[in-house]
Amino acid sequence: MAGALAGIKVVDLSRVLAGPWASQLLADLGADVIKIEKPGSGDDTRQWAPPSLPDGRAAYYLCANRGKRSLTVDIAQPAGQEIVRRLVADADVLLENYKLGGLKKYGLDYDSLKAINPRLVYCSITGFGQDGPYASLAGYDYIVQGMSGLMSITGPSDGEPHKVGVAVSDLFTGLYAANAVQAALIARARTGAGQHIDMALFDCSLAMLANVASNWLVGRKTPPRLGNAHANIVPYQVFAASDGHFILACGNDKQFAEVCRLIGQPQWARDTRYVSNPQRVANRSQLVPLLAMAFRHHPREHWLTALDKAGVPCGPINDVAEAFADPQAQARGMELAMRDAEGREVPMVGCPIKLSGTPVEYNLAPPDLGEHTEQILRALGYAEGDIVALRHNGTV
């Protein structure tokens, strides 16, 4: 069965995470993604190991490059630039994450390629966008997490600021980019014209602050770092049982009343200091220690069972191994094993998108460097002698 994006050709000049994350999602949805890599070294993440498979492909590289074909091209050489132009002539999308103006000197910028293919959707991913005072700066997820305010709200209230455990600025930018690409393709279906998409890690990181950003915009009060607590809801955080920690996500007054009943303090739900969520937020420093003391009297499983039965949202804190072993993760196909062209097994995280009519198909494992170079060049009309010459001079 053809995927939702079957027939869409994507030329992917991006590397590391934000761009490859976007192109992997497009590939999962059925697009033909051609990953262009530098001969000899390829995507930086191929060397970001350990761990890696026995054949040397790093786990980091594997996480973002499923469903693609790898073509090695040295775009600094005129012959390499010509290969990209031939690819773009009938492509639908080009993704790139070079520094501002980095592709213009090769004639691979938007204006140059638009002249070849006016229908091209050209998506640029940078740290700070195509304009503004920081446009020329390199963008790194860690630094952007700090600059965007995300780290200022992450970590314990009495400790240093923390980054999130994965590169969320890169990942969210990749997701926003994939959405933008599909929106531009829909717009092209109406207008016949492609367009330039300008994505910035910094912009996306500010956008993903969500309610925390809204709190500041409305209240103009700098949000504090609350550790595992919630800025707008109480109690909504981690608590310690007698044998470990669990999450309590109490979202309304009825649920709070159930919590009070379970811990043997039903009167707290009628206390004017705690009767509604705004009061509980205002009196957080009084209420939370009382709850913490009550939860220490029984083991984690006791509270999870009781809270769940009472209809109060709660959950365990799993490590990664426990999360993948969870029956729900197994039932949803979130762990899978692919086979590459040589029959080698490649463990992967499944795509979370479930489409009833055009389901995700896992057709290509993350490729070896340059695995599809000859196949793609032949399709572009290069003869065998041409390919040998391109390899000889290091173009591919």
Q: Are 9 and 88 in contact (CB under 8 A)?
A: no
The three-state secondary structure class of 167 is coil
pLDDT of the residue at 141: 97
The rounded Cα 378 to chain-centroid distance in angstroms is 34
pLDDT of the residue at 159: 87
Enter the DSSP assignment of 58: B
The three-state secondary structure class of 46 is helix
Q: State yes or no: is 170 an active-site residue.
A: yes
Return the sign of the alpha-carbon dihedral for residues 197, 199, 203, 205: positive
- For 247, residues 6+ apart whose C-beta sits below 8 A from its C-beta are 228, 237, 238, 239, 314, 315, 316, 317
Half-sphere exposure of 317 (CA within 13 A, CB side): 14
pLDDT of the residue at 5: 98
Ordered domains of the chain (ranges, CATH): 9-209+327-393 (3.40.50.10540), 236-317 (3.30.1540.10)
pLDDT of the residue at 293: 97
Strand order in the sheet with 314-316: 236-240, 245-249, 314-316
Going from the C-alpha of 75 to that of each of 71, 83, 90, 314, 392, the distances in angstroms are: 12, 9, 19, 52, 15
Provide the H-helix boundaries in 208-252.
210-219
Enter the DSSP assignment of 127: S
- For 240, residues 6+ apart whose C-beta sits below 8 A from its C-beta are 292, 295, 296
In the chain, the amino acid numbered 205 is S
| b/e code 31-58 from CB counts within 10 Å (16+ = b) | bbbbbbbbbeebbebbeeeeebbeeebb
pLDDT of the residue at 55: 86
pLDDT of the residue at 363: 92
Q: Spell out, as residue ranges, where the chain has pLDDT lower than 70.
A: none
pLDDT of the residue at 56: 87
Among 170, 203, 243, 340, the active-site one is: 170
**pTM, whole model, 2 decimals?**
0.93
Kindly calculate the radius of gyration of the chain based on its CA atoms and give it in whole angstroms. 25
Q: What is the pLDDT of residues 305-322, one digit of tens each?
A: 999 999 999 999 999 999
